[in-house]
Homo-oligomer: A and B are copies of this chain.
């Protein structure tokens, strides 16, 4: 089983076309403008006295992800101006790459004698993102300037780390290069690239004296507490973790390393069974941006970084290549329709890094007075560590990459979006058209041409349709020539409860409609959202909303009756109130105020 490249699938309309157009028309340039304003672009001119600004050690990666995003956008639709902007940065990289192949904005300009002396300084992480950008840009444009640079740098790293053991540390402090090397290897077929990936995976967890973790959090912070093949529990920094697991899965798929595959399966299960927000967010803890203990999923204090959700989707898409298990596509869908989209404002130029499932204005005020970490209740245009915005610009335009996989004898359909695809499968080039307004409705019309063989179509786990017909979450069809299949997954409103070990959610339900989690906002429902009750048999009315691209949900609920005193005998008296739920991903696009996903339910 393998994934189908995003460029084989053209999005033709509907929900994702709107989001992708927004990124193309607004977000990609907004991110560039912010990067320009903050010195991230000019840093590539290596004229520090001219700009007067000292780059952060991770700035290379921010801009690399922007270049990668441009590659995906221009592969889909030419944009010479955008391409010229990327070319200019790539030109500066080629011009300033060190003789030996090294490249890093900060170290070359400000600490040339400190290269590869500190485990936590992101040099290999930056190279990873440069590699991903180079591969994407080469595939989109045929231009190999950046690819040439990163191959030279990768050769340098191979020599330094593998041949000479000449760095202060052995494996990256922030994983990412592992999955990037696998992408590079699939283009270059250079065994050194595979070997370098193998080296970084094999050595992780074996050099605690050199591959340091983080203060207080120790080796687990960067998954360096034990060899990767022995890891079974997701720990530490969530983005680091899922980038690592993605690289592990890529490597296991490429080499047939069953031990590595088993570790990936266990890690995936641990995340989705115990550490996943209903929005697809992972990494509950602000401190260390990391996984908490199993079932530790606070809503107001949720971290759920946008990049972490993205990294989980990346991990799931790798797992999808091992076997057809509907849970992988379910997770990708959950992440994308909630935690990823919430990272971007409806205007397309503001971003969330942290994606809480509750905003309680009074509590936020106190946390801010305390100087404690608290989620923002509005989206800024950039962050000092601005990894999330260019991750959004590279992921939203390529959602279609998760739509299909092919095995020797089966074409799998995992995600639903209006699109035309040409897919190589079983020696044929199948043409697959999806006509759908999913997830507005659950109706999908599939037209498959030029393919004779087995077709598997995922039934999303939230759907109660096709219960008797599906196998492992998929419907199977034998198709021949031209086939039309019409499906309807009927995304009804459903109240979802959490495992009672999730203490934050006890006695509460989330309102979901298909893959989309909904929320209450103060702008619609007034303050004191935690006092609102739903009942199991409440009737929800759907009202179309152009602003959200999905209906809003209206229903009747209850609130406490007025009472006297801070504490008062419990009477159970409730009054009916109208309620309006909006898609979670659209929260915080109006005036600042309270927001709530998990709502009390009348048992």
- Is A503 a contact partner of B360 (Cβ separation < 8 A)? yes
A103 in the interface, Cβ–Cβ < 8 Å? no
- Is B566 a contact partner of A276 (Cβ separation < 8 A)? yes
Q: List 15 A-B contacts (CB under 8 A).
A: A216-B369, A274-B566, A287-B371, A296-B362, A298-B363, A363-B503, A496-B567, A497-B560, A497-B568, A498-B567, A499-B563, A503-B530, A506-B600, A536-B571, A602-B603
A86→B566 CA distance, assembly (Å): 43
- Is A570 a contact partner of B509 (Cβ separation < 8 A)? yes
- Is B500 a contact partner of A528 (Cβ separation < 8 A)? yes
Q: How far is the CB of A328 from chain B (nearest CB, A)?
A: 15
| Residues of A in contact, count (CB < 8 Å) | 64
Q: Given A298-B363, A362-B296, A366-B292, answer yes or no on A497-B285 (Cβ-Cβ < 8 Å).
A: no
Q: Given A288-B370, A528-B500, answer yes or no on A507-B536 (Cβ-Cβ < 8 Å).
A: no
Residues of chain B within 8 A of A531, CB atoms compared = 500, 503, 506-507
Q: How far is the CB of A282 from chain B (nearest CB, A)?
A: 12
Residues of chain B within 8 A of A494, CB atoms compared = 569-570
- Is B509 a contact partner of A507 (Cβ separation < 8 A)? no
Q: Which of B286, B371, B495, B560 contacts A500 (CB 8 A)?
A: B560
Q: Given A296-B366, A503-B360, A560-B500, answer yes or no on A570-B285 (Cβ-Cβ < 8 Å).
A: no
A217 in the interface, Cβ–Cβ < 8 Å? yes
A565 in the interface, Cβ–Cβ < 8 Å? yes
Residues of chain B within 8 A of A287, CB atoms compared = 369-372
Residues of chain B within 8 A of A602, CB atoms compared = 602-603
A186 in the interface, Cβ–Cβ < 8 Å? no
Q: How far is the CB of A263 from chain B (nearest CB, A)?
A: 21
- Is B366 a contact partner of A278 (Cβ separation < 8 A)? no
Residues of chain B within 8 A of A372, CB atoms compared = 287, 372
A204→B503 CA distance, assembly (Å): 44
Q: In chain A between 339 and 375, which residues have their CB closer than 8 angstroms to a CB of chain B?
A: 360, 362-363, 365-366, 369-372
Residues of chain B within 8 A of A571, CB atoms compared = 497, 536
A293 in the interface, Cβ–Cβ < 8 Å? yes
Q: In chain A between 264 and 303, which residues have their CB closer than 8 angstroms to a CB of chain B?
A: 272-274, 276, 278, 284-288, 292-296, 298
A365→B559 CA distance, assembly (Å): 34
A558 in the interface, Cβ–Cβ < 8 Å? yes
Q: Which of B292, B501, B603 contacts A528 (CB 8 A)?
A: B501
A191 in the interface, Cβ–Cβ < 8 Å? no
Q: Given A503-B530, A531-B506, A566-B272, answer yes or no on A295-B362 (Cβ-Cβ < 8 Å).
A: yes
